[in-house]
Amino acid sequence: MLKMKYSILAFFICTVQFAFSQDDRTLLTVGNKDVSVNEFLSIYNKNNTNNVIDKKTMTEYMDLFVNFKLKVVEAESLGMDTVLKFKSELAGYRRQLAQPYLIDKSMNEALIKEAYDRTTEDVAAYHILVRVAEDAAPQDTLAALKRLRELSKGISSEKEMLQAIEKVKSLNDKDLIAEDLGYFTAFSMVYPFETAAYSTEAGSLSKPVRTRFGYHVIFVRDKRPARGEIRVSHLFIRSNSEMSEEQRADAKARINEVYQQINSGGDYDALVKQYSEDRASASKGGNLPWFGTGGTASIFEDAAFSLERAGDISEPVLSSFGWHIIRKEDARPIGTFEELESSLKKKIEKDSRSLKGRSSLISKLKKEYAISYNTANKNAANKFVGNEYLNGTWKLKTETTEKLDKPVMVISDNVYSKSSKSYTQRDYLKYLQKNQKKLGDTYTLSNVIASHWDGFVEAMLIDFEDQNLEAKYPAFKALMQEYHDGILLFDLMDDKVWSKAVKDTAGLEAYYKSHRGDFMYPERADATIYNCANSDVAKQTLKLAKKREKKGYPDSNIMEKVDADNPLDLTISSGVFEKDDEPAIKASPWMPGVHKVTLEGKPFTYVQIYKIIKPEFKPLDKARGAVTSAYQAELEEEWLKELKSKYDVKINDSVFQEINK
């Protein structure tokens, strides 16, 4: 994904409502647009919280902020904020951003029940993810969503989903993930993803769903009863797609050798400590934490759950990480609701689903706002509702609505916006029509209509609160301004910087030629790493390594001579390494020759350095990503110079100095 050089906007969709005093004084003017102290400080403070690494002084940030506002003013001058696409996009984001403000933090009982129901069922799904940071600028977020929609277009079957996954993988883009997730259950995934998966029928594709990782689409392929939790230990030998065919074959030989030793009566625990390459678990006998569905790689999970009794040991299992020999330690089924209620409640309290429900918010709003009712107008409106309402078939006639403008309720805010809104007979009857349903013979029309009145009042309270958010919550107002500006920026930045840099191949090549010194390989070593099991193997290996220097023995030749009987005795890794690529390389003297290095748990490790390769230029095809990013930065810098000459920027120094204290 194309990214800006820096991110001014903080993309926080959260329930935190920042408390800060209103300060509507004009801090600066860009072109003919005034910017308040509030707007500047809300963004500055978000980007200078404790967890931000690159903190900036207010003066440094003012420079970035001015550059940002120059682009916004340019977008507005081009009329980009008046087009229907922009307006509908902003309205859609406002609905999304408003939701946390329109819910109170209750619903615990319903959420606990929902969580328990989900733990009793496992879901198997594929997904496609376009990565975007949770606090990314709106333009980056919009780009991710657009890209996801393109990648998932037309998927309606499992076959089409698999084809889309292969296409995504072929792009070899670190910002894209497409994979089979296997089975998972409640709390295995982030809540929005979990909800989308459980809400999607098997054999169907979900709508795009936003999580803190980015945007996903989910194809649900199966649902099944949950199978509980299990605790296992494992012996692990690394083998993955980044390794050579020879290295993977060696890993397979070593895991098979260990498995033969176990079958011949070897001590499983001792072999784990000696040979397992998962050092974190090897020191604990290979023991892993309890896990259930979705707690680990699906092939590992299936092999673990297929073991019947504690102490049973699997054959070697190959996951995307490497080879495993798994021993079952213990298992437990899903508990009853009563057994899990307390633990589920604690999980929910730490989870995003802990938002309170609508009813709690409404109780608060009824105390906060002044509400007046006109019973006579309400009763007059009720006369337009016929008995067909009990069958769920009543319709408000269009010609009738023209006569129904009298208020049935007025809500007033005497604190924040100092505003009020009148809800008419038309609003009330439209609510009744929308919420009707077929009822039994025991219901009477008057009772049913009366029962809907409270629902209407509550819905209108939420509506009024929604319209009052900018006045009531400065943080929400600031966030909406950020989205307004960020959406405007997206197409403009794409035209001026992002796509231009990608499409302008001649300009990119010219930039690379004039900046080749910025894109260089550091000093590297052409070397081989030997890990030997004991001193005898080390002696043989060192002897052959010295011959290798003269005769150019390949790895396979040395492996055949030293390691013919036991593939666990010697591992060899050859290549061109940077200093920090491998612990053994880092610990070795940086000069040609064979060097003994000291590594924890590996007393017989040697590094053979053939030559030190001096720093050299990276070819364009190897540095294209970095070159493109740098070229984009140059294009943006030139564009900003044009904008600064086009629009006047005036900073109110006295106000700035005051807030800077």
Highest mean pLDDT among 45-54, 161-170, 282-291, 561-570: 161-170
Positive/negative CA dihedral, 316, 317, 318, 323: negative
Res 265: pLDDT: 92
Amino acid 104: pLDDT = 67
Q: 478 falls in which pLDDT band (50, 70, 90)? A: confident
| Rounded CA separation 177/393 (Å) | 48
Predicted confidence at residue 5, as pLDDT, reads 29
State CA 429 to chain mean position distance.
43
Three-state DSSP class for 539?
A: helix
> Nearest-5° angle of CA 182, CA 223, CA 200?
95
CB 400 within 8 A of CB 381: no
What's the average model confidence in pLDDT over 237-245?
92
* 315-352 per-residue burial string, b: 16 or more CB within 10 A, e: under 16: ebbbbebbbbbbbbbebeebeeeeebbeebeebbeebe
Q: What pLDDT does 525 receive? A: 96
Collapsing DSSP states into helix, strand and coil, what is residue 6?
coil
Average pLDDT over residues 366-387: 95
Rounded CA separation 453/436 (Å): 12
604 near 572, Cβ under 8 Å? no
Under the banding of pLDDT at 50, 70 and 90, the label for residue 2 is very low
φ and ψ at 526, to 5 degrees? -85, 110
**Radius of gyration, alpha carbons of the chain:** 32
The strand pair at 33-36 and 26-30 is best described as: antiparallel
Q: Which strands form 649-651's sheet, in the order they lie side by side?
A: 33-36, 26-30, 649-651
Q: Specify the higher pLDDT residue, 10 or 339.
A: 339
Mean pLDDT of the chain: 88
Q: What angle do CA 330, 332, 335 make, to 5 degrees?
A: 160
For 602-648, give the DSSP string.
EEEEEEEEEEEEPPEEPPHHHHHHHHHHHHHHHHHHHHHHHHHHHS-
How would residue 18 be classed by pLDDT, with cut points 50, 70 and 90?
A: very low
Answer whether 635's CB lies under 8 Å from 501's CB.
Answer: yes
Q: What is the pLDDT of residue 324?
A: 97
Comparing CA positions, the residue from 226, 233, 235 lying closest to residue 332 is: 226
Check residues 402 and 592 and name the one with the higher pLDDT: 592
| Cα 484 from chain centroid (whole Å) | 22
For the chain, the straight-line distance linking the first and the last C-alpha, in angstroms and rounded, comes to: 38
Q: Is pLDDT of 356 > 50?
A: no
Does the pLDDT of residue 17 top 60, yes or no? no
Q: How many CB atoms lie within 10 A of CB 65?
A: 21
Closest-CA residue to 486 (of 142, 193, 35): 142
Q: Which residues of 387-422 are buried (b: 16+ CB within 10 A; e: fewer)?
A: eebbeeebebeeeeeeebeebbbebbbeeebeeebe
- Mean of the pLDDT values across residues 71-86? 92
Confidence (pLDDT) at 500: 82
What pTM was computed for the model? 0.50
CATH number of the structural domain 108-225: 3.10.50.40
Burial 435-457, CB ≥16 within 10 A → b, else e? ebeeeeeeeebeebbeebbeebb
Which band of pLDDT confidence, cut at 50, 70 and 90, is reported for residue 21? low
- Evaluate if residue 350 carries a pLDDT over 90: no
Q: Name the residue ranges covered by the structural domains of the chain.
A: 1-107+473-519+619-661, 108-225, 229-332, 358-470, 523-614
* Sequence-distant (≥ 6) Cβ neighbours of residue 373 within 8 angstroms: 408, 409
Cα–Cα dist 567/256, whole Å: 9
Please report how many Cα atoms fall inside a 13 Å half-sphere around the Cα of residue 457, on the Cβ side.
22
Out of 13-22, 156-165, 176-185, 217-226, which region has the weakest mean confidence (pLDDT)?
13-22
Could you tell me which residue, 12 or 207, shows the higher pLDDT? Answer: 207
Residue 10 is predicted with a pLDDT of: 37
Percent of the chain with pLDDT over 90: 64
State which amino acid sits at residue 540: Q
The Cα 305–Cα 225 span in angstroms is 14
Domain 229-332 class in CATH = alpha beta
Place of tokens 């594709």: 205
Per the model's pLDDT, the better-predicted residue between 465 and 566 turns out to be 465
The pLDDT assigned to 1 comes to 34
The answer to whether residues 354 and 348 touch, using CB atoms and an 8 Å cutoff, is: yes
The first and second tokens of residue 165, run together, are 């996954």
Could you write out the DSSP letters of every residue in 111-132? HHHHHHHHHTEEEEEEEEEEE-
C-alpha to C-alpha distances, 223 to 57, 159, 652, nearest whole angstrom? 53, 18, 62
Res 12 pLDDT > 70 = no
Q: What is the mean pLDDT of residues 550-565?
A: 76
CA distance 564 to 551: 21
Rounded mean pLDDT, 291-314:
90
pLDDT at 354: 66
- In this predicted structure, the answer to whether residue 3 has a pLDDT above a threshold of 70 is no
**Fold: same for 108-225 and 229-332:** yes
- State the CATH class of domain 1-107+473-519+619-661: mainly alpha
